[in-house]
């Protein structure tokens, strides 16, 4: 460690200088945590520290920033470790999934793992995260955006839910709760008071503090949009947490990633105009053609289809993925397909979109979905430029499904002040 410390400090200085444009995204807390983790690896074994262990420690403590490769920076500064040696069976695996799992399971080094900050895009990988931590008792708290849920009382309720998780040893996932993270700073420091073999930490708002017992199995995960973390999260909060990108793409195996890349390329060709005979192309935004499209969309479709087919890859797998993506396509872009690089697939796409899939009206869509649903329930998001559910449309739905007017309820989100009111109305419905 004495020989390594100076080089680790030089590498941290290089990271700090490289990262100046992103505020102080990495701070001394990250460096101290790195040193503790490297020391824990060295102390638990009878062989010299290897590069795979150092790389694991670097990725655990200097992740989450898309403008710098921390392993490359440390590789240039660290000279006393061999970098090409074969991985020992006890050495950690450094995929994103394994890094997160190591943080949740106290990493096996004997060191105290920090709590997690996972940066996402459109919360696309939240479902995968919940599966990953499935063996832990998990409570997900998603902050409400209803107007009266921003008040002090609701913040106290959420802190109390976190307090219960701390005491019972649950893993808590926090999303969209920027108004209470400051109350958790003492807990995030993991600087505990100890009494009778138990650990205690302060929780509270402002000057009001309460002692909370911290179970040895308690873990805390903050999930936030990448751009919100970069632009709005306070530096003291960022520095206290272990940071990782959480994207579906980096949690997939090689075969799944290859299929997702193929589907993403198909989506790009779907919107790329191509004038045959001329060497010109015009590309538009994919999100204009597929409603809600984001970088994890194709990965989510592949994983959904993978589960549906139990991992069986047949000749129609990619075609089924394309059909699933077509559900969110706008009619305009389907009709102009002959002008794009997919002009040879025009007939197939038109048949799928206008014959196999019901896109004409809400009644045909509901009938189709109910026919495919095993639970007789349909949950859907419909994007429209028209007025939603006019009197004439209500009559058509009543006629199609044999319903009375009382069976059809139109709720407007703006009419609710709290999430609790909204949930109660849904249950009553």
Domain boundary among 297, 331, 357: 357
- The domain boundary residue, chosen from 321, 342, 357: 357
Across the range 194-223, mean pLDDT stands at 86
Q: Is the pLDDT of residue 177 over 50?
A: yes
Among 220, 250, 280, the domain boundary falls at 250
The predicted structure's pLDDT at residue 101:
85
Whether residue 193 is found in the same domain as residue 183: yes
Residue 275: the pLDDT is: 61
Tell me the sheet residues that pair with 140: 173
pLDDT of residue 70: 92
Task: Report the length, in residues, of the chain.
Answer: 429
**Closest to 117 (Cα-Cα) out of 203, 30, 206, 44:** 30
**What is the predicted pLDDT for the residue at 85?**
74
For residue 111, the model assigns a pLDDT of: 58
In DSSP terms, 221 is beta-bridged to 116, 173
Residue 333 lies in domain:
252-357
Does the pLDDT of residue 103 top 90, yes or no? no
Q: What is the chain's mean pLDDT, rounded?
A: 85
Residue 192, domain CATH: 3.40.50.300
Is pTM beyond 0.85 here? Answer: no
Residues 148 and 219 reside in one and the same domain: yes
pLDDT digits (tens, 9 = 90+) for 42-79: 888 877 888 889 999 999 999 988 888 999 999 999 98
Give domain status of residue 307, yes or no: yes
Do 326 and 270 lie in a common domain? yes
Structural domains in the chain (count):
3
Is it the case that residue 398 has pLDDT exceeding 50?
A: yes
Euclidean distance between CA atoms 281 and 259, whole angstroms: 25
Q: What are the tens digits of pLDDT across the range 358-383?
A: 988 888 888 888 888 777 788 888 87
| pLDDT at residue 89 is higher than 90 | no
Tokens standing for residue 271: 């919107």
Distances in whole angstroms, Cα of residue 99 to Cα of each of 36, 56, 63, 249, 250:
16, 8, 10, 15, 11
Which has the minimum average pLDDT: 114-118, 130-134, 157-161, 232-236? 130-134
Is pLDDT of 242 > 60? yes
Residues 206 and 293 in one domain: no
Residue 298 included in any domain: yes
């Amino acid at each position: 460690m004495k020989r390594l410390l100076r080089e680790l400090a030089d590498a941290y200085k290089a990271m700090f200088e490289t990262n100046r444009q992103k505020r102080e995204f990495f701070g001394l807390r990250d460096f101290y945590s790195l040193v503790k983790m490297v020391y824990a690896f060295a102390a638990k074994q009878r062989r010299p520290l290897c590069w795979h262990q150092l790389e694991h420690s670097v990725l655990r403590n200097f992740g989450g920033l898309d403008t710098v490769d921390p392993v490359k920076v440390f590789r240039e500064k660290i000279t006393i470790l061999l970098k090409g040696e074969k991985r020992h069976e006890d050495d950690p695996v450094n995929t994103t999934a394994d890094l997160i799992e190591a943080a949740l399971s106290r990493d096996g080094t004997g060191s105290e793992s920090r709590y997690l900050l996972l940066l996402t895009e459109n919360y696309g990988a939240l479902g995968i995260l919940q599966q990953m931590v499935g063996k832990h008792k998990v409570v997900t708290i998603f902050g409400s955006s209803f107007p009266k849920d921003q008040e002090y009382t609701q913040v106290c309720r959420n802190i109390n839910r976190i307090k219960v998780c701390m005491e019972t040893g649950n893993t808590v996932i926090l999303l969209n709760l920027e108004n209470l993270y400051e109350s958790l700073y003492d807990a995030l420091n993991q600087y505990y008071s100890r009494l009778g073999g138990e650990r205690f930490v302060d929780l509270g708002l402002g000057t009001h503090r309460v002692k909370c017992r911290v179970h040895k199995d308690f873990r805390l995960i903050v999930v936030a949009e990448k751009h919100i973390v970069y632009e709005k999260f306070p530096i003291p909060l960022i520095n206290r947490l272990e940071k990782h990108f959480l994207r579906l793409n980096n949690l997939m195996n090689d075969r799944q990633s290859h299929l997702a890349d193929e589907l993403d390329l198909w989506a790009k060709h779907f919107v790329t105009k191509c004038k045959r005979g001329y060497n010109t192309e015009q590309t538009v935004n994919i999100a204009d053609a597929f409603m809600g499209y984001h970088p994890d969309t194709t990965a989510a479709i592949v994983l959904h289809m993978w589960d549906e087919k139990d991992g069986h890859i047949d000749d129609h797998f990619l075609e089924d993925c394309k059909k699933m993506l077509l559900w969110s396509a706008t009619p305009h872009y389907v009709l102009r397909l002959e002008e794009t690089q997919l002009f040879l697939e025009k007939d197939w796409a038109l048949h799928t979109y206008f014959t196999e899939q019901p896109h004409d009206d809400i009644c045909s869509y509901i009938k189709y979905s109910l026919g495919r649903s095993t639970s007789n329930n349909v949950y859907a998001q419909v994007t429209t430029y028209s007025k939603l559910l006019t009197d004439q449309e209500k009559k058509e739905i009543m006629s199609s499904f044999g319903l009375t007017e009382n069976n059809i309820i139109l709720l407007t989100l703006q009419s609710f002040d709290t999430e609790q009111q909204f949930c109660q109305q849904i249950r009553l419905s």
